Structure 1
Amino acid sequence: FLHRAGNSFSLILLNLDFEEINANDFLDNIKSLNTTKNVPIIVFSKESDETFILNCIKKGASDYFKYPFDLNVLKLKSEILIEKQQEFLSEDESYFNAKYRSVMENKNTAVIEYDWLNNIFLYDPSISECIQGTFDSRSFWSILLEDEIADSNDIDKIKKIIDELINDSKKTNTYVEVRLKSSDSTKHWFTINAFKYINDFKFTNKIILTVCDNDKDILIDDKLRFKTEHDVLTGLYNHDTFIKKAEDRLNQAPNVSYILFVCEINNFKFINERFGIKESEKLLQFCANRILFYTDLERGLCGRLSNDSFAMLFSYDIDFFNDSIKILKCFFEDYPLNTKITASGGAYIIDDPTIPIEIIINRASLAKDTTRDSYVSKITVYDNSMNEKQYTEQYIADHMEQALKNGEFIVYLQPQINHSTEEIIGAEALARWVDPIKGIISPVDFIPFFEKNGFISKMDEYIWEKAAIHLQNWIKKGNKQIPISVNVSRQDINDPKLCEKLLTIVNKYDIPINLFRIEITESYFSEDTERIISVVEKLHNNGFLIELDDFGSGYSSLNILKDIQIDILKLDMKFFSGKDDLGRSVPIITSVIKMARLLNIPVIAEGVETKIQADFLLSLGCEIIQGFYYSKPLPVN
């Protein structure tokens, strides 16, 4: 019994007063068993002979109790010995783990140490996670057979490779493949590798066996391959795999035309900050599922390039392209989130399959960037002029920081004039970049780029401060005091310290707050209306006058007037179909101006280029004009 199950015990209590027990023989036998040699033994007897007691201790007894004895003392002694035994076993297991850690890190590989001189097997503590069986005091061969882990033929194969190592002094390792019962109760193919363990004295009495589940390794290889090739969050191909798969597809069908789309969620950073990482990840998974469904349907290819950027490859024809534009625009727009979600997309039509896929993706991305941050989803097809834009943006990116330090950004003012009196009643502050190499860089080039890369906030704060300095100088010189309107960007709106920053500038230069007006573009309100309303209310409550810029360019104009206290309305003159062709614009502009008068909101018409336009606006009661008809933006001096 102890031979089979001795390693299940933490302590043996041995009564030597039975006549059939020979103390010497019994203790010798217990200590000779591999399963019980390390188990502590407490011996008790009526015998008080000192020689008898010492002999028991020499034979391996951990302690001796003479009848009668105190049971509480026995209990305490037992607890101490059991505790020491557990520490010993823990150290023994740690030794095994440390010795074979590199092998055991593979969860489908178990280690067995075989001392063939003493016929002792030492097992990896986690062997049952690999092979189903009870690894007790029985020999390894008995366990394999009795627990139906292996049949006799496979057992013989294992014995054969061990015998080869023992009997062949030149052979140091070998292996065999056998069928064993895995931890899931099914038979798998296993590879058993056998190695000689040679000590520092060039002597070996041990064989190390590693038992590896081949079937599970195949599954693990598949899982590892999937993890290597796919994005963890969305399950789509990752950047590198998409490029490889796309290259393979183009090479396999060089005569087929393809189209590659790159799509990106607008203002994803804002969504991430506003709603949290978990919600952003759900949005990405939502979009990825739709993209995967559509590409599978059209036998295309898709992947996640980075953060919120996705790529899709399809065979190309014009009908498919027109349909795809409509479908792709809807991928992102009905996710249930309390903000408007739009996407920017770029497309590149692949007529030359020899162009590297990285360049194709880059060109589609360039096309995408031309529509980025729109308040509606758009997809643009690449053309060669976009490369010139990329070169310009690279120059801007390389020089913008130094330009700010060098004061190359200049405040220009575009006057706002009363058309009936031709008197200047205000001005809008606009940024101009005077570069020492390229001269004046157009704001059409650098403003959208700054909005994209985040530099717009630094430049805005610079322009705000310069505008405040000009106001302060006019006041000190006794010049006529006219208000200056400064623009705040989408990124500024998302800054929780926006109001404090503006107040700091006003107080620093001691200027009347009503002369420092804030312009907010109407399209911003289509993204996160509640947040922007709260920002506007805070600015308004602190004394700032709010101008709503580009009124009429978006889809929520009337709602904005209903929900937000606007001080001045800036009418977007894109309503005009041509310079002097008023056409169907007349009733629209008339209605807007009348509505504003009913709400007691002054109107400034911006973008006015001709006398006909200015006179028409004046006839409707809109006196304040801003545009090239009177003046382009000018340096302050």
Structure 2
Amino acid sequence: MKRWNKILIPIFFLLMIMASLFSVRSIVSMQGYAKLINYLGIVRGCGQRIAKLEVSRQPKDNLISYVDGILSELETGEGKYGLSPLHDKDYEQSLSKLTREWKEMKREIYQVRKGSDTKDLLSFSENFFDTANNTVFVAENYSNEHIQSFTRLSIILSVVAIFTWLCIVLIYFRNLFHLQRKNTNLESIAYRDDLTNASNLEKFRLDAEHLLASNPLYKYAFFHLDFQNFKYCNDIFGYDFGDRLLKQYAFYLSEDMNEGETFGRISGDKFVVLRRYNFREELLARQKAVDSRMRAFAMDSKEHYSLTIFGGICCAEDVSSDMEIDSILDRANFAQKTVKGQEERHYAFYTDSIREQMIEEINIQSRFNDAINEKEFLVYYQPKVNLSQGTFDSAEALVRWQTKDGNLISPAAFIPVLEKNFLISALDQYVFREVCSFLKKRIDDGLPVIPISVNVSKIQFYNPDFLHIYSDIKESFDIPDGLLEIEFTESVGFENTEYFLEIISRLHEHGFLCAMDDFGKGYSSLSMLKDMPIDVLKLDSLFFVNSRDSKKDLTVIRGIISMVKELNIQTVAEGIEEQSQVEFLKTIGCDVVQGFYFYRPMPSEQFSQLLSR
């Protein structure tokens, strides 16, 4: 029986497929025949219609073009009407005659339009009608013959279909076994992430529950991992690069997994990991090693992307033993959010204080829109002193949050929260508008003004509408060119140099000055500065704070500032608090100093008074 099944079933299914294909082809052919005959009828009627119109001196060139298109497609099979030529000798001869008579009829039409008598045209139209009519009959005969053939074959195929159905019934139980095996494969697919082939959240949850239950004597920790600003990575470098990062990170995590451990990708750039450990230091060391490999991969790629990864860790021993996996992951996520956006800390363990911190951050996030609308954010100004002149000739706009009850919230408390929740762009634009309003009022009052710099976050910079928004605000306040300076962090400049150069160039076209902020924090590359048309380079205080007693450091920094000045870039040292630092900066030729030694950030009213002296 099995032997016969192996022989008969393929034959029956092959016949079934052939029957299906033949039936489809038959239906399509019959539809094509009907369509072809219909268009032949149109040609037949149009011939007479055109002749009557020409006789009555009402030419219709579009109708002639219509007939031209149909006849051409009937001959070649190429055109917009979907007509296929019939491969029948009688039909081809009749169609050829019809085409010739149409050409003769068109020549007579043009003679009539020149003034010739219409009798010949009427005669041509009658001949054309007869030929078209005959062509229709030939096509109908051809179609009828094929329909009869189709009918006979359909009866035969119906009988084959009955036998095929009987065959399907006979092998029903065999198919059941096959379906069971296929369901097993589908179940495996349903638990895997398509892109990285890592476990999805459901599979990770099941595996984690099994591992915890099977290994009660082991200590386990849950990780919640996330890339910083991954959305903007996709927007700027493209989804192909983003996908490569995700697949490579999954590969590195898989290599790090030991027996009794698992990981998964739960969404976007978010990964979860379950690791065993003896000491918590092991957990950090292993994760840092994985992330170090990933950062090197991103930086060594042609995109030279500076990737930052943040992680939260929740140890199972720190929570209730009956807590669900999702709740433990939530706590790891809470921990991760407390460090996301920070430059120094990238990992955090969940503690009782984490939840309180998250509540405070949620409070900041929820109050933000109302604070913007009610102008609780205040712009402070910190003057910058020109060392050669001994007076300030520019300033930087900074932001403070003063609540309704008069309390000030530190920027260190709310800026990171706004950054990681993608709200910082709204604050950037708010500060920029306030600065423009401040300058506009002084200009209208005839009071002196100086250039003011405003900070632009990485998220704002990568906003496709950034340049359009800022130039529109500048123009709406009618601020003269050269009074507004845009500050970017150095990481923005070195992550995507080509895009950075394009934005700088377009900012200059709209009258903005451009500054690179925080130079010296780890991304610094003097060789790249020569290709960056920035106006100002701001040196971070850490860049020179320990250089006063070191001749070697003094030589290096003097060389850097000298080179930067050769590039016609103004140098600004920020965070200056001591006289010895000022003297050192004068010695090495620094242009401008900003810091508490000269001025602290001040409210706009106080700054306005200082500016008016």
Matched residue, 1:301:
262
1:161 matched residue in structure 2: none
Q: CA deviation at 1:373?
A: 5.3
2:454 maps to a residue whose letter is V
Structure 1 residues 260 and 510: CA distance shift in structure 2, 3 A = same
In the other structure, the counterpart of 1:262 is 224
How far apart, in 1, do the equivalents of 2:554 and 2:547 lie? 13
Match of 1:342 in 2: 307
Q: How far apart are residue 469 of structure 1 and its match?
A: 0.9
Amino acid at match of 2:525: S
- 1:376-391 matches, cutoff 5 A: 378-391=346-359
Paired with 1:457 and 1:440, the residues of 2 have a C-alpha distance of: 21
User: Relative to structure 1, is the Cα distance of residues 595 and 78 closer, same or farther in structure 2, using a 3 angstrom cutoff?
Assistant: closer
What are the Cα deviations for residues 44-65 of structure 1, in whole angstroms up to 9, with x where unaligned?
Answer: xxxxxxxxxxxxxxxxxxxxxx
Cα deviation for residue 77 of structure 1 reads 4.6
> Shift of residue 287 of structure 1?
2.3
Q: Please show how residues 434-449 of structure 1 align to structure 2 within 5 Å.
A: 434-436=402-404, 439-449=407-417
Match of 1:80 among 144, 147, 162: 147
Residue 213 of structure 2 corresponds to which residue in structure 1? 251
* Cα deviation, residue 283, structure 1: 3.2
Q: 1:135: which partner in 2?
A: 164
Shift of 1:565: 1.5
Asked if 2 retains the 8 angstrom alpha-carbon contact of 1:346 and 1:382, the reply is: no
Q: Specify which structure has the higher proportion of strand.
A: 1
1:621 match: 589
Q: How does 1:390-539 map to 2 (within 5 A)?
A: 390-419=358-387, 422-436=390-404, 439-539=407-507
Shift in Å, 1:516: 0.9
Determine the C-alpha separation between the residues in 2 that align with 1:76 and 1:419: 97
Alignment of 1:95-114 (within 5 A): none
Please, what TM-score do these two structures have when normalized by structure 2? 0.67
User: What whole-Å deviation, never above 9, does each CA across 1:210-247 have from its counterpart, x for those lacking one?
Assistant: xx722222223212322332223322221233133223
RMSD value over aligned CA atoms? 3.8
Shift of 1:584: 7.5
SS of equivalent residue, structure 2 residue 482: helix
What secondary structure is seen at the aligned counterpart in 2 of 1:255? coil
Map of 1:218 onto structure 2: 180
Where 1:334 maps in the other structure, the secondary structure is helix
User: 1:346, CA displacement in angstroms?
Assistant: 1.5
Contact 2:547/2:554 (CA < 8 Å) preserved in 1?
no
DSSP-derived class of the 2:398 partner: strand
* Change in CA separation of 1:75 and 1:427 when aligned onto 2, cut-off 3 Å: closer
2:219, 2:408 → 1: CA distance?
42
TM-score by length of 1: 0.65
Give 1:443 shift: 1.5
Q: 1:529 to 1:387 in 2, by over 3 A?
A: farther
Distance 1:499 1:261 in 2: 38
SS of residue paired to 2:402: strand
Post-superposition CA distance 1:524-543 (Å, at most 9, x none): 12321211122112212433
In 2 relative to 1, CA 253–282 (structure 1 residues): closer, same or farther, beyond 3 Å? same
Per-residue deviation, 1:349:
5.3
Further displaced range: 573-582 or 220-229:
573-582
Aligned to 2:248: 286
Larger helix proportion of the pair:
2
Q: In the alignment, residue 348 of structure 1 is paired with which amino acid?
A: I
Distance 1:579 1:243, change over 3 A: farther
Partner Cα distance (1:269, 1:431) in 2: 26
Question: 1:369 Cα deviation (Å)?
Answer: 3.8
- What is the percentage of aligned positions where both structures have the same residue? 31
Q: 1:410 deviation in Å?
A: 1.8
Assess, with a 3 A threshold, how the Cα gap between structure 1 residues 285 and 596 changes in structure 2: closer, same or farther. Answer: closer
Aligned CA distance change for structure 1 residues 401 and 554 (closer, same or farther; 3 Å)? same
The answer to which structure, 1 or 2, has the higher relative contact order (CA under 8 A, 6+ apart) is: 2
Residue matched to 1:362? 330
Q: Against the structure 1 CA distance between its residues 79 and 622, is the aligned structure 2 distance closer, same or farther, given a 3 Å change threshold?
A: closer
Q: Distance in 2 between matches of 1:76 and 1:471?
A: 84
The Cα offsets for residues 548-597 of structure 1, whole Å up to 9 and x where unpaired, read as 11111133330332110221121100235579988975444433333333
Residue equivalent to 1:329: 292
Q: Is the 8 A contact 1:596 1:603 kept in 2?
A: yes
Gaps of 5+ in 1: 12-70, 93-119, 124-133, 151-179, 181-189, 192-211
318, 324, 331: which one pairs with 1:352?
318
Offset at 1:302? 0.5
Using the alignment, how far apart are the partners of 2:269 and 2:250 within structure 1? 10
| Runs of 5+ unmatched residues, structure 2 | 1-11, 24-137, 606-613
Alignment of 1:136-215 (within 5 A): 140=166, 180=171, 190-191=172-173, 213-215=175-177
Spell out, residue by residue over 1:28-80, the C-alpha distance to the aligned partner (whole angstroms, 9 max, x if none). Answer: xxxxxxxxxxxxxxxxxxxxxxxxxxxxxxxxxxxxxxxxxxx9999765433
C-alpha distance 481-343 of structure 1, shift in aligned 2 (>3 A): closer
Quote the Cα distance in structure 2 between the aligned partners of 1:508 and 1:481.
18
Q: In the TM superposition, what whole-angstrom CA distance separates every residue of 1:399-445 from its partner, at most 9, and x where no partner exists?
A: 21222222222211111123565522111111222222583222112
Q: Deviations over 1:110-162 (max 9, x none)?
A: xxxxxxxxxx9985xxxxxxxxxx628xxx5xx69xxxx97xxxxxxxxxxxx
Residue 375 (structure 1) shift: 8.2
- Count of aligned positions: 468
Q: What does residue 68 of structure 2 align with?
A: none
Per-residue deviation, 1:517: 1.0
Q: 1:549 to 1:74 in 2, by over 3 A?
A: closer
Q: Following the alignment from structure 2 to structure 1, what is the Cα–Cα distance between the partners of residues 539 and 234?
A: 33
Q: Residue 577 and residue 87 in structure 1: after superposition, are their counterparts in 2 closer, same or farther (change >3 A)?
A: farther
Shift of 1:316: 1.0
- Letter paired with 1:450: L
Which of these residues, 238, 242, 245, is aligned with residue 276 of structure 1?
238
One-letter code of the match for 1:475?
A: I
Partner of 1:430, secondary structure, is strand
